[in-house]
Structures are given as C-alpha cells and as structure tokens.
Amino acid sequence: MPAPLKLTPKGERRLRQGHLWIYRDEIQGAKPEMHGSMVAVNDSSQKIFAHGFYSHKSKIAVRIITRSAQVPDRSFFREAIRAAGLRRKGKAGKNSGVRLVNAEGDFLPGLIADWYAGQIVVQCLVPGVDVLREMFAELLWDEFQPEGLWFRNDSSMRELEGLALEKFMWRGKETPEVVIEENGLKFLVSLSEGHKTGWYLDQAENHLRAKAFARGRCLDAFCFQGGFALHLAAGAEEVVAVDSSQPALSVLERNCELNRVKNVLPVRANIFEILPELHKRGEKFELVVLDPPPFAKSRKDLGSAAKGYAELNRRAISLLNPGGILISYSCSFHFALPDLMEVVRKACGELGRQARLIEFHTQAQDHPILFNTPETWYLKGVVAEVD
C-alpha cells in the first residue's frame, strides 16, 4: 500500500463526524501513482484512522471503506457483501428485482450490484473498485449464486474518474433480457441496454404508493418503460404515458401486453413541449406524475435546474382538476426536498391554487441513506392534493 495520507483538520473533523468522503483539499501526501489504490489515512496524531479508495482525478479524493487501522482484505469485503444481502432480508427471489449493494449506502463505495430474476448486473464506478472487480464479481457470485453476472460499466461517472466505458458478460448463462415481478406486475428488463442497470429499482415502493391515488385520467411524464404507468392503470380510466424515447415506449407497450393492460396510451413527445400543448387543448387529469432525470448533477447547475423544475410543476398543476393529485420527484442530490416543496408552493401561488401535502417519498429501502453522508439521499418526492 502507498504511504498513509495525512488529513487536514477540516478533513479529520469530517471523518470523525461520520462522513465517508475526503475531498482533495482535505488531504496531504497524495500522488498521481496512487490512483486506484487502497490508501490509509492518518489522523492528527499520525495514527491510521481509516482506509479508502483513492482517486487522483475526482474532487472526492478518498472514499472511505472502513474507519479502522486494519487493512481491508478479501474476507472483509466478503462480510460487507454478506451484510448488504442481510439488509435485503432475502428479497433476491427467483423473479424479483432488487439492489444488492448500494455503494456508500452499504459501505462499499463505488460498487453497485443489482439482482434481476437470477441475473446480477454490476457497476464499478471508481478506480479502486475497478481494480478489484474480479474479486467483487467472485464474491457476489459465491454469496448470491446467480445464473449469470454482467458488468454494465457504461456510467458517465466512470469517464469523470478516467475509466473506460464497457459492458460485458462475466460468467454464467447469458440472458440479455429478463422479466422481473414488481408489486404483482411483470416488467421486461434489458441487462445490456437502457437506463442505470436496466430498471429504476429505487422507485419500486413509490410505484406502489402512486397506485393508491390513481383514478380517472392520469398523466405519467417521463414514463420510461412504464413503472408508474402500469401501476396507475389498475385504478385509472386512462393513463397517458409520455416519454421522448421511442425504444423506451416500445418496451412499455410490451410491458402492457405482458400484464394485459389496455388503458395506457404511450405518447412520444418532449415533456416541455407537450405540457403546454395539453393545457392549450383544455385537457385535464386527476393525477400527474413528474419523474424527470436529474437536472442538477452539480451545484453549479442549481440555477437552471430550479427553472426546469419550476416550469414542469407549474405546467403539471395547470392540468389538474380541482382535488387532483400531483406526485413530483427530484433525483438530484443538490436539489433538496425543501427546494422541491418551494417549487410546488410558488407554482400554486402563480396559478392561484392551493396544495395540501399528503406524504413524502424517497428512494426504496434497498438504496440505504446514511445520515452522516447526506449525499446518499438523492431521491425525494412530494404527493400533494391541489384544490
């Protein structure tokens, strides 16, 4: 291992408060050749305080694995993966979809592993994990005994870390497409294509909560392959499902056939263009779901992101009948829950409407949130009744 890095007083305070990230200006002694290594971190008394993965390209220089002087080895990572599995309480069933390992949320920074009906899809997001990917694949294979294991290392985060984009089958039965079951519904998942690792597992519990409010005519904006739309269909007369991606809508249509759902209308359109058009035509809905992609990937994007969220929510509220339900999400960490609530408040004020908060939503339980590392809480949502 490289020589231990020395923490600045600011960095030491951050770690002692339980945060799992050390920024570049909070360490001393880092060198380019350490990129991708596991490093030790010394406290002010020159004692080893923690171990983590080092990146020389990211502003986040060290991602903490353990606050211990003991060097993490294969058995350490085996126990960490086993502990992550126990947190899921055996949810990796024959036909289920579940996140097995959620990076920092499971104290395995930079490692994502998702289970899809017997197949595991792995993402290595930081150099330290990428160096050890064979070990992680073997440990996941032994612990969960899948039929196949894939690497989907095509996230843009890898580019920021100086890593190549790639995707390939590692071992086992090569099944590029599977069908998972979520809340009694069936969904096609492509393991080699599509967003994230194939499905929005973090919204699984929110899909079910949204179903409870479905009635009349509903609008699912940014519908992707129908996670919300098919759940809403159970209680709605019609669900208008809008997305700009034709491949996503094609899978949505197949998902409708799988579930014998006939009241979902797929529409290919840009949301920012179709919402004002729907308003112009005088169309109304009893429920609107807004689940956009992240508008604020960094703090510098907050200004433009706020404008985007504001326009979306204002347009959506204008389409609601009195007593209608708005379900609005932000998956941008930098755009916090109070920011989202303020957007809804202002939109209602501009339209002369009142909104009543019904409940908050967040990411599914298999995407753990750490209080001491607030960046692990990225998905937030509000459900509001609009008079």
Element (H, E) at 107: none
Q: Which residues contact 16 (CB under 8 A, 6 or more apart)?
A: none
DSSP reduced 3-state for 300: helix
**Sole residue written with tokens 């404008």:** 307
Q: Which residues sit opposite 240 in a β-bridge?
A: 219, 265
Contact assessment for residue 110 and residue 125, using Cβ atoms and an 8 Å cutoff: yes
What is the chain's alpha carbon radius of gyration, rounded to the nearest angstrom?
22
- Angstrom distance (rounded) from CA 82 to CA 315: 46
User: Angle at which helices 302-318 and 337-351 pack, to 10 degrees?
Assistant: 50
* 82 neighbors 143 (Cβ within 8 angstroms): yes
With a CB cutoff of 8 Å and minimum separation 6, the contacts of 187 are 97, 179, 180, 181, 199, 225, 226, 227, 230, 255, 258
Q: Catalytic: which of 218, 223, 256, 331?
A: 331
Here the tokens at position 374 are: 């607030």
Nearest to 385 by CA among 316, 323, 328, 320: 323
Residues 190 and 204: beta-carbon distance below 8 Å: no
**Distance set, CA 140 to CA 43, 137, 200 (Å):** 33, 5, 21
Ramachandran bin of 197, using left for φ above 0, alpha for ψ from -120 to 50, beta for the remaining angles: alpha
Q: Are 20 and 41 in contact (CB under 8 A)?
A: no
Q: Catalytic annotation on 331?
A: yes
Q: Which residues are catalytic?
A: 331
